Amino acid sequence: MSNPYAPSDASQNQPPQQFSASPVPPSEQQVSPPQPVAPTPQYQPPVTYQAPIPPHQSGGYRGYLGVAPPPSQRSGIAVASLIISIFSFALLGIPLIGGVVGIPGGITAVVLGIVALNKRQPKGMSIAGIIIGSLAAIVSAFAAYFFLFAFGVLGA
């Protein structure tokens, strides 16, 4: 059986056919003069574009999209409250020194924590300084009272 899609031998020997749009031979065809081309208009940006805002008006460089800018607020008072409260609480283990340093240190930590909350500094550090400082002041007061009572200074 022969392949129906195979080219026949008769079509291989014939020259390729030339197709023209008109029955006039190519030597007698008339060539039309070139048509003038309209100039292309200059590019105008869409109306929705606006001029870029200078950095000093937009708040400065904001970084890549999706990246949060660094925090601009300072947290010195909240950190001081937390450090003083931890320091005064840690000194409770030392007799006599813990009672002397713990009470003023705890009160100072509580005051600094409240000031930090009013100045809108980091809330977690401020609250931690207030809690630990108040615990240090209260425990130091009880320790000092017990120490003075145990050695007979306040007792009869």
Domain assignments of the chain as residue spans, ordered by start: 76-150
- pLDDT for residue 150 is more than 80: no
Is the CB of residue 137 less than 8 Å from the CB of residue 103? yes
Task: Judge whether residue 87 has pLDDT over 60.
Answer: yes
Q: Is the pTM of this model over 0.75?
A: no
Helix (H, G, I), strand (E, B) or coil at 55: helix
Predicted confidence (pLDDT) per residue in 13-52, tens digit: 566 566 555 566 666 667 777 788 777 778 776 666 566 6
| Structure letter (DSSP) for residue 57 | H
Q: pLDDT per residue over 47-79, tens digit each?
A: 665 666 555 555 555 555 556 655 556 778 899
